[in-house]
Amino acid sequence: MSYEDVRYNHIFGAKPGYQKLEFCIRQALRDRLRYVWVDTCCINKQSDPELSEAINSILRWYQRAAKCYVHLSDHSASQGWDHFGQSRWFTRGWTLQELLAPRQVDFYDASGEHLGNRTTLAEWINCTTKIAHTALEGRRLNAFSVE
């Protein structure tokens, strides 16, 4: 699902990524949030200026988010925790910012089952990413070096 799919009202159900968008909207309604922003369809990747602006602004957008939902479309809770770190989500370009910048990050499996949050899953996330526990538990990013 892309920005163009949403803008031109293409048939959503058949598009890859539709389940992620649908899940995000349902969860935001449950959490009584008024707005959602989904990286796969809210950035016009066909526009170089807009893509450049998005890349330069995305950390700030994540920092201002009330919540960040991580929808692991290729993971099921029934697969166990060993499979958790093998999700494609951990290989995406935005993952580091999406993981560390928001105040709250909640993880969900492909069916929408809540797996935990950044703090409760810190051990599993650390095993996959090698990101320090203190960063996953919310320590300010400027407390860390680039290394």
CA atoms within 13 A on the CB side of 6: 17
Task: Choose between 74 and 56: higher pLDDT.
Answer: 74
Q: How confident is the model at residue 76 (pLDDT cuts 50, 70, 90)?
A: very high
- Strands 68-71 and 105-108, bridge-based pairing: parallel
CB 129 within 8 A of CB 147: no
How confident is the model over 7-35, as pLDDT tens digits?
A: 556 555 566 667 788 888 899 999 999 98
Q: What is the dihedral of CA 5, 6, 12, 15, to 10 degrees?
A: 40
Quote the pLDDT of residue 4.
60
**Assessment of whether the complete model's pTM goes beyond 0.75:** yes
Mean pLDDT value across residues 40-48: 68
